[in-house]
Amino acid sequence: MSAHRPSPESWPVVAAMLPFPESHDSPAPVWRGQLAEVAAEGFSGVDLTDSWLRVGDLDSARLAELSGVLDDAALRPEAVSAIRRSVIDPETGAENLAYSHRTIDAAAELGCSVVSVGLHRPLTAAQRAALWFWTVDGPRDDDTAETWELAVGRLRELGEHAASVGLALSLEMYEDTLLGSSHSAVRLLEDIDHPAVGLNPDLGNLYRLHREVEPFLEAAARCLPVSNYWHVKSYFRSTDPLTGGTHTVPAPMYAGSMNYRAAFRTAVEVGFTGPVCVEHYGGDGLAVMAENHRYVRRLLAAVTGGRVSGHGR
């Protein structure tokens, strides 16, 4: 969604802070140690995922501390992802809207380029008890016209705020929400109709479900032309032809069942130029994300005809 395409080496490919525990109230030296691990794996940028710390809830002194430790680690804060804070949550929607506004202001102060928000809600007790939370169904958005218009209005409001402070707003796709399919997500974006608002086609959120899902490449082709940020991760997916049962587990991007080589080719062809954030659940998530980082750099070089020196940093 931009006229300028970065080179494979300069393209922002950043690390999610998902592998780290909730650290909102931790002292700055703890943040410094965590971010140093990210930098040691070859990253130069991060997504300040709010499951790690909530930048929108930091006072000015703590926000300055965070900026300082990011500088110490030589990590650019490219994005903030505010997750499970749906602005149409029937119980906490208004509170989440206010939180999202605070997050936008904090992200701008830190020098980010994008804030990603979604319509998914907190995990249920059953989801938290499962080995993989996506194997248990969670809350489902009401799809009435009234709820749709509420989402359009509140997300447009956030887009206007983001634009006013020089940020993009990206809408993360997630199952059983109004952003839960490529068709619905694109239609919602069209109704919001704001130049600062695009999609975050986190199609791994959909592909991992133990049910029938949209073909990955078809969904990517539909969403990438209107996307401005991209969470990427992969899964092994297998379906038993006798029972119809499906099983998925996290996988490195190069090895998983999602064809990211083809998806990145499509992304470049349709003009996607947004930052890319690598994610992974389970095990040594940071190490897998580092491999995903190198893989994405190689893909960008392959599909643009560019070059990546060394090991893909």
92 burial (CB, 10 Å; 0-12 / 13-18 / 19+) is middle
Q: What is the pLDDT of residues 8-22, one digit of tens each?
A: 999 999 999 999 999
Tokens of residue 44, six digits: 């130069």
Q: What is the mean pLDDT of residues 21-46?
A: 98
Half-sphere exposure of 201 (CA within 13 A, CB side): 26
Is the pLDDT score of 240 beyond 60? yes
Better-scored residue on pLDDT, 305 or 13: 13
Q: Which residues pair with 81 in a beta bridge?
A: 116
Is the pLDDT score of 313 beyond 50? no
Tokens of residue 17, six digits: 């802070």
Q: Among all chains, which residue has been given the structure tokens 């086609």? A: 201
Q: What is the pLDDT of residue 37?
A: 98
d(CA 76, CA 107): 12
**What domains can you pick out in the chain, each with its CATH number?**
13-304 (3.20.20.150)
d(CA 191, CA 307): 39
Tokens of residue 86, six digits: 């749906």
Q: What is the Cα 27 distance to its own chain's centre?
A: 26
d(CA 257, CA 205): 14
Helices (H), 193-284: 204-207, 216-223, 260-269
The counts of H helices and E strands in the chain are 10, 10
Confidence of residue 311 (pLDDT cuts 50, 70, 90): very low
Residue by residue, DSSP assigns 165-194 as: TT-EEEEE--TTSTTSSHHHHHHHHHHH--
Q: What is the pLDDT of residue 244?
A: 83
Is the pLDDT score of 2 beyond 50? no
* Rg of the chain taking only CA atoms, in angstroms: 18
d(CA 131, CA 46): 26
Integer CA distances (angstroms), 150 to 90, 107, 154, 186, in order: 11, 24, 6, 16
* Of 191-205, 208-222, 296-310, minimum mean pLDDT range: 296-310
Sequence-distant (≥ 6) Cβ neighbours of residue 19 within 8 angstroms? 280, 284, 285, 286, 289
- Measured over all CA atoms, what is the biggest interatomic distance in the chain, rounded to whole angstroms? 59
Confidence of residue 241 (pLDDT cuts 50, 70, 90): confident
- The overall average pLDDT reported for the chain is 96
Q: What is the mean pLDDT of residues 140-166?
A: 97
Is the pLDDT score of 1 beyond 50? no
Backbone angles phi, psi at 212, to 5 degrees: -65, 135
Q: What is the pLDDT of residue 4?
A: 87
Q: Which residues pair with 15 in a beta bridge?
A: 46, 278
Q: What is the pLDDT of residue 307?
A: 72
Q: What is the Cα 211 distance to its own chain's centre?
A: 22
Tokens of residue 31, six digits: 């943040």
